[in-house]
């Protein structure tokens, strides 16, 4: 008759295994990766990566700009034509996701321009462009009041 | 289906570019996976700042010495393994910087100082392989769920809650099954019971 096996001492097992790097399978590491949440990066870390990688490490933050243009009575068509040309030119700039002009039948004087840009660097080039300057000049005699622009960035929860 | 295949092609190209030392590839990885890599490193090193250091050092090393990606088919698997090893390496270096011996050296030191641990025996008739080799051989004989429980408990690969979720068990079952998995592993490592067939819960 075989004598009963002695119970292993788990404290000893823990002490032994606590003293080495426990081998973890690649599939477990991959599983852990899948259920890991993204971590918000600190400015310190981003600055370090910027230094190591240069401008290519700059995280783009998309911009959406809502521009409300209110035409003087009788100048609605002129403003719409100038704004449509401006939107066309904007759409040709690299880094512009879209630039679209909207109007509503309820308020024929009001035009809304929705611009989506890849990041602020695109905004700088947009505002420094010839077509931007031309539109600034062209719109002045057509507007009832100064254009109102509101800037949006993606909401993060 | 084409989008899945395109994504996998693009990940393969990114891995290939990384192995050629293309800084654009490193930047793309940072922009797309940096937040996940830091979150992943945090599992093992705890503090956010330390996790960021681990990931930053990894990126900086890839810029100096492009990593080998032979045999790596999946970008995420490559990143997970890379960050995991970088975190473990960081912990090892941190121990050394604090004057603590490496973990494997601890075993020998403790043996000498206190008493002989039954799982690190040596001497005539004992196989020459080290504890790690014996551990790997023992783990190979356990079921996948036993290994996952042990990887959670000893390797902190998952949190207990994540392990419970993967195994679809509650807390009580988790502790019971973990206890049984530890017992099975202890028997396998125990010199007296080398021949025992462990089985294990699947």
Give me the mean pLDDT over the A95-106 stretch. Answer: 94
Burial of B102 (0-12, 13-18, 19+ CB in 10 A): middle
pLDDT digits (tens, 9 = 90+) for A110-142: 999 999 998 888 998 999 999 999 999 999 999
Domain extents in chain B: 2-97, 104-193
Q: What is the pLDDT of residue B137?
A: 92
- Secondary structure, 3-state, B2-68: HHHHHHHHHHHHHHHHHHCCCHHHHHHHHHHHHHHHHHHHHHHHCCHHHHHHHHHHHHHHHHHCCCC
Q: Do A38 and B63 touch (CB under 8 A)?
A: no
Q: What is the pLDDT of residue A156?
A: 55
Neighboring chain B residues of A53 at a CB cutoff of 8 Å: 23, 26-27, 30, 59, 63
3-state helix, strand, coil in chain A (%, to 5): 45, 20, 35
Q: What is the pLDDT of residue B166?
A: 93
Domain extents in chain A: 63-152
Query: Is residue B21 predicted with pLDDT exceeding 70?
Result: yes
Q: What is the pLDDT of residue B57?
A: 95
Q: What CATH number has the domain spanning A63-152?
A: 3.30.70.100
pLDDT digits (tens, 9 = 90+) for B84-106: 999 988 988 888 888 776 554 44
Which residues does A34 contact at the CB level (< 8 Å), separation at least 6?
A: B76
Can you tell me the distance from the alpha carbon of B83 to that of A80, in angstroms, rounded to the nearest whole number?
54
For chain B positions 108-137, those within 8 Å of chain A (CB to CB) are 110, 117-120, 131-132, 135-136
Q: Do B30 and A35 touch (CB under 8 A)?
A: no
Q: What is the pLDDT of residue B102?
A: 55
Can you tell me the distance from the alpha carbon of B54 to that of B84, in angstroms, rounded to the nearest whole number?
10
Neighboring chain B residues of A10 at a CB cutoff of 8 Å: 179, 182-183, 186
User: What percent of chain A has pLDDT above 90?
Assistant: 60
Q: What is the pLDDT of residue B106?
A: 43
Q: Which of A25, A30, A52 sits opposite B76 (nearest CB)?
A: A30
Number of H helices, E strands in chain B: 9, 0
Which candidate in A4, A6, A13, A14 is best for mutational testing of the B interface (most B CBs within 10 A)? A13
- Token reading at B81: 């393994």
pLDDT digits (tens, 9 = 90+) for B23-57: 989 998 998 899 999 999 999 998 999 999 999 99
Greater model confidence, B106 or A153: A153
Q: Do B106 and A19 touch (CB under 8 A)?
A: yes
For chain A positions 58-117, those within 8 Å of chain B (CB to CB) are 59
Q: What is the pLDDT of residue B200?
A: 52
3-state secondary structure of A79: helix
Q: What is the pLDDT of residue B70?
A: 73
- Secondary structure, 3-state, B50-77: HHHHHHHHHHHHHHHCCCCCCCCCCHHH
- The CATH architecture annotation of domain B104-193 reads Orthogonal Bundle (1.10)
Work out the pLDDT band at A145, boundaries 50, 70, 90. Answer: very high
pLDDT digits (tens, 9 = 90+) for A56-77: 877 777 899 999 999 999 999 9
Q: Per mean pLDDT, which range of B59-68, B88-97, B159-168 is the poorest? A: B88-97
Share the mean pLDDT of chain B.
Answer: 80
Residues forming beta bridges with residue A150, ordered by sequence position: A66
Query: Is residue B109 predicted with pLDDT exceeding 50?
Result: no
Please tell me if residue A6 touches chain B, with a CB cutoff of 8 Å: yes
- Token reading at B95: 């121990």
Q: What CATH number has the domain spanning B2-97?
A: 1.10.1740.10
Share the mean pLDDT of chain A.
Answer: 90
Q: What is the ipTM of this complex?
A: 0.77
């Amino acid at each position: 008759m075989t004598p009963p096996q002695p119970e292993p001492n788990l404290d000893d097992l823990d002490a032994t295994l606590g003293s080495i790097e426990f081998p973890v399978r690649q599939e477990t590491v991959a599983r852990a990766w899948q259920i890991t949440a993204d971590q918000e990066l600190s400015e310190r870390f981003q600055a370090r990566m910027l230094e190591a990688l240069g401008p290519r490490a700059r995280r783009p933050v998309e911009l959406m700009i809502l521009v409300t243009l209110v035409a003087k009575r009788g100048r609605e068509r002129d403003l719409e034509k100038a704004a449509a040309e401006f939107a066309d030119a904007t759409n040709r700039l690299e880094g512009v996701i879209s630039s679209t002009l909207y109007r509503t039948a309820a308020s024929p004087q009001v035009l809304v321009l929705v611009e989506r840009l890849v990041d602020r660097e695109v905004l700088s080039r947009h505002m420094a462009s010839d077509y931007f300057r031309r539109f600034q000049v062209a719109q002045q005699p057509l507007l009832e009041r100064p254009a109102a622009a509101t800037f949006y960035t993606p909401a993060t929860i | 289906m084409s989008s899945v295949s395109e994504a996998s092609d693009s990940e393969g190209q990114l891995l290939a570019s990384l192995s050629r030392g293309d800084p654009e590839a490193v930047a793309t990885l940072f922009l797309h996976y940096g937040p996940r890599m830091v979150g992943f490193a945090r599992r093992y090193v705890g503090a956010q700042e330390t996790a960021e250091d681990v990931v930053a050092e990894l990126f900086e090393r890839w810029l100096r010495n492009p990593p080998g990606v032979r045999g790596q088919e999946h970008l995420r698997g490559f990143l997970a393994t890379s960050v995991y090893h970088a975190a473990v390496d960081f912990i090892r270096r941190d121990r050394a910087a604090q004057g603590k011996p490496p973990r494997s050296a601890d075993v020998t030191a403790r043996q000498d100082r206190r008493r002989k641990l039954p799982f690190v025996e040596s001497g005539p008739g004992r196989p020459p392989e080290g504890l790690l080799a014996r551990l790997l051989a023992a783990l190979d004989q356990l079921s996948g769920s036993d290994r996952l429980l042990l990887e959670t408990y000893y390797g902190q690969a998952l949190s207990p809650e994540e392990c419970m979720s993967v195994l679809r068990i509650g807390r009580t079952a988790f502790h019971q099954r973990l206890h049984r998995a530890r017992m099975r592993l202890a028997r396998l490592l125990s010199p007296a019971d080398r021949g025992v067939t462990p089985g294990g819960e699947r």
